[in-house]
Amino acid sequence: MSTEESLLLIPGPIVVSEAVKAAQSIQSLSHTSPEFIAIFQGALKNLRKLFKSSNPKDQPVVISASGTLGWDITASNLVSAGDNVLVLSTGFFSDSFAEALRVYDVNVDVLTAPLGDVNSIESIEQQLKKKKYAAITITHVDTSTAVVQDIQSISAAVHKTSPETLVVVDGVCSVAVEDIEFTKWGLDYVLTASQKAIGVPSGLSIGFLSERAVTKAMNREKQSTFFASLKRWIPILQNYEAGKPSYFATPAIQLVNALNVSLEEILAGGLEQRFSKNKQVSRDFKGKLVNELGLRLVSVKDDVAASGLTAVYFPEGIKGSDLLPSIYKKGVVLAGGIHSQIKNDYFRIGHMGVSALDDNLGHIAKAYDAIKTSLAELGYSK
């Protein structure tokens, strides 16, 4: 089934580079071979750089799974049944994280930000003073609203107000597109997935743990899952990074190779350059949607708008069931809404990875043109 004609611009999976595609199609290797150990070692070391980690006791985590496993990892390793966890919600994925935590009998309080906005630092500090929280979860960019939380400021507030509370960040739609200074900002666990800005096919749960998160996981006596147990995985990951064969469950050989290749590409391009280019592309694109087409963004102001995707309302009189198929016919695949309150009222465009960074591909321009032309065909004018 050929899909070369369609341009994939949803908020993940994203278009992968040619080098990553090639890395995906290597022949299988033994998971304990020197060849694969070197690849896995490279990927783990490169993750330290991506997360700007400055503490060698921080721990990168790569497990064969969907990004969703990161929620189970949080619930089953970093907190315990009966613990209080504060969930900051900026949309569907924040709420789903809360749901995952509740499965593990964690007491969850959800602090919901106004639609399209972030939680205020004051409201977070106020809530943290009410009871003892084992962890706070922050969805860095909620893919349902394209809102980006200021995790640096939130983490600082948590460390000041409730220093024992672990700072857990869902970075599924932020890692490799928004800046993250893991150690400096005092984060404890950032979880993400391979198929978003990291630019690898879906299939890897990727994470980064602080020294105190590692200690907590390793000292935990009662495990609540087998496959998601950090106590089982951490020694394996440490062995791989040290260049030694190790076995718990067979890693996804080709995906880890693709991850290593993609991280090499990301790091070679320079992180600061990448983040500022992503921000610029996002601002330009959003600016055109708002100013040239007169559309309204879900994110209520510039400084809460994510760089990796745009969530934008359909204009009055235009139905998504007309607009999205029309755009699709022009060869561009965008995503519908997923936030329960406004599910049918908006759509989403992903602009991560090569699609945002390589102007020569013309991806963002093509998406904009498809939106503009389709709107005009449906009789819309600003």
The verdict on 219 binding a copy of itself (CB under 8 A) reads no
> Is the Cβ of residue 304 or residue 323 nearer to a copy of itself in the bound state?
323
In degrees and rounded to multiples of 5, residue 356 shows phi and psi of -90, -30
Q: Looking at 24, 123, 161, 246, which residue binds a copy of itself (CB under 8 A)?
A: 24
102 is in an annotated binding site: no
8 A C-beta contact, residue 43 and residue 264: no
Integer angstrom CA distances of residue 289 from 183, 286, 292, 375: 36, 5, 6, 11
β 335-336/346-350 pair status: antiparallel
**CA–CA dist 306, 173 (Å, integer):** 9
Q: Looking at 86, 134, 228, 367, which residue binds a copy of itself (CB under 8 A)?
A: 228
What are 169's two structure tokens? 């960040």
The verdict on 377 binding a copy of itself (CB under 8 A) reads no
Q: Name the segment binding a copy of itself (CB under 8 A); options: 115-123, 147-155, 199-207, 316-324.
A: 199-207
Q: Looking at 45, 55, 57, 103, which residue binds a copy of itself (CB under 8 A)?
A: 103
In degrees and rounded to multiples of 5, residue 306 shows phi and psi of -65, 150
CB of 296 to a copy of itself, least distance (A): 25
Q: Name the segment binding a copy of itself (CB under 8 A); options: 13-21, 47-55, 286-294, 308-316.
A: 13-21
8 A C-beta contact, residue 305 and residue 177: no
Q: Looking at 84, 225, 238, 246, which residue binds a copy of itself (CB under 8 A)?
A: 225
What are 48's two structure tokens? 């330290």
**CA–CA dist 348, 335 (Å, integer):** 5
The verdict on 145 binding a copy of itself (CB under 8 A) reads no
Q: Restricting to residues 254-273, which ones interact with a copy of itself according to CB under 8 A?
A: 254-255
**First-last CA distance in the chain:** 38
The verdict on 348 binding a copy of itself (CB under 8 A) reads no
The verdict on 221 binding a copy of itself (CB under 8 A) reads no
Q: Restricting to residues 64-93, which ones interact with a copy of itself according to CB under 8 A?
A: 64-69, 71-72, 75-76
- Give all strands (DSSP E) within 233-334, no chain letters: 309-313, 332-333
In whole angstroms, what separates CA 304 from the centre of its chain? 16
> Is the Cβ of residue 8 or residue 293 nearer to a copy of itself in the bound state?
8
Q: Residue 292 has what DSSP assignment? A: I
Side-chain-facing half-sphere of 222: CA atoms under 13 Å: 6
Q: Which of 40, 41, 44, 93 has its CA nearest to residue 70?
A: 93
Q: Looking at 80, 152, 227, 246, which residue binds a copy of itself (CB under 8 A)?
A: 227
CB of 166 to a copy of itself, least distance (A): 18
Binding residues for substrate are 348
Q: Which residues bind a copy of itself (CB under 8 A)?
A: 1, 3-4, 6, 8, 10, 12-16, 21-22, 24-31, 33, 35, 38-39, 63-69, 71-72, 75-76, 99-100, 103-104, 193, 195, 201-203, 223-229, 247-255, 333, 335, 338
Known binding-site positions: 348
